[in-house]
A and B are shown apart, each in its own frame.
Chain A
Amino acid sequence: MRILVCIDDTDNMESKGTGELAEMIAEHIETSNWGKTTRITRHQLLVHPDIPYTSHNSSMCFEADIDTSYLRVLIDFAADFLVRESAPESDPGLCVAVIDQIDDVDTLIKYGHRAKQDVMTKKEAYNMAERLGIHLSEHGGTGQGVIGALAGVGLRLSGNDGRFKGKHKINGINDIVTAGEILSQTDIDAVRCLDGNDLDYNDKVRLNDWVKSVLLEGKCVLIVSPTENDPDGVKWQMCPKKILKSLG
């Protein structure tokens, strides 16, 4: 069965990040042979004076394909893990959704989008999770992280939000590769420029040490921007971080 696991509000300014904890949960799923996991996405939620958050107010979500018999043990593990590993003054929340069993995907996606714009309540999150048949639980502090955990699942399901955790490793001669080489060396699905068009296989791209992708149309997409006066005549380069931030 395919599930989405999302955690939120686990860190403070000195602790491990929420992304690292999500990665550790995903690793445990793999090493325990419960199933296979996919790349983690980071979803930015609303920053507002009425929303208490300890560090960033972003949630981290990943998909896993597991044997049905491991669902309960996975939820129990993740819950204990958050109690153990979250920062003392954080308010961690955990959401686990079985993708094929979500009662109303559109409602969940709308909830995710609202959490980027409105101040939401825990009560509303729990009601929504119950109505849609989704596991939602809190594991310390005020438990406020349930809002972001549920929203993160909705945003991941939307296929159009957030950036992928981690950087892609690509080998290129003198840091120059073709779009085709990027696709063959990584799990990136498309190399796209800011106007929305995909690069051709043979288009050359100048790499740097910041190859980060975003979730667009359900795909892992590398955004590139035009170069200026490239010495080798390469037309494309990695998109500036500032633009990436605005995309995800």
Chain B
Amino acid sequence: MWKVNERGEKVFRGGKEDGAGAAQAADKCPNFKLDVEDEIVADELRSCYNCRYRRWTAESFACYKPE
């Protein structure tokens, strides 16, 4: 589900369109924190795509609060 990029960041393998995978990852993650309303993008609220600790990259996002 994750890979480490050249900057040492933990990047989601599913890209920006894997809603089910991002929801599954957040479901298991104790660090999930819902982002501010302006930045919510996924219908499944508990999703890495809606997490305050994701930082978008060109193709996907990196998790800035890895377990």
Interface residues in chain A, defined as those with a beta carbon under 8 Å from any beta carbon in chain B: 13-14, 16-20, 42, 47-49, 55-58, 60, 165-167, 240-242, 244-245
Contacts and interface: CB of A to CB of B under 8 A. Distances in A.
Dominant secondary structure at the B interface: loop
A19 B64 CA distance: 21
Nearest to B64: A13
A56 B38 CA distance: 10
B37 interface: yes
B32 to A, nearest CB: 13
Nearest to B51: A13
Given A13-B64, A167-B37, A55 B55 contact: yes
Given A19-B36, A20-B36, 6 more contacts: A13-B65, A17-B36, A167-B37, A240-B43, A242-B19, A242-B42
10 contacts: A14-B52, A17-B38, A19-B38, A42-B38, A49-B58, A57-B56, A241-B41, A241-B42, A242-B42, A244-B41
A166 B37 contact: yes
Contacts of A17: 35-36, 38-39
Given A241-B43, A242-B19, A47 B38 contact: no
A56 B53 contact: no
Counting contact residues on chain B (CB < 8 A from A), the size range is 10 to 19
Contacts of A245: 41
Of listed A47, A60, A241, residue having the most chain B CB within 10 A:
A241
Contacts of B26: none
Given A47-B58, A241-B43, A242-B19, A13 B53 contact: yes
B36 A58 contact: no
A242 B55 contact: no
B40 interface: yes
Contacts of A58: 38-39
Contacts of B55: 13, 55
Contacts of B52: 13-14
A166 B39 CA distance: 11
Nearest to A245: B41
Contacts of B64: 13
B17 to A, nearest CB: 8
A241 B38 contact: no
Q: Which has the most chain A C-beta neighbours within 10 Å: B35, B38, B42?
A: B38
Contacts of A242: 19, 41-43
Given A13-B64, A241-B43, A242-B42, A56 B37 contact: no
Nearest to A42: B38
B40 A241 contact: yes
A134 B29 CA distance: 45
A161 to B, nearest CB: 15
A20 B52 CA distance: 15
A168 to B, nearest CB: 12
Given A47-B57, A49-B57, A56 B19 contact: no
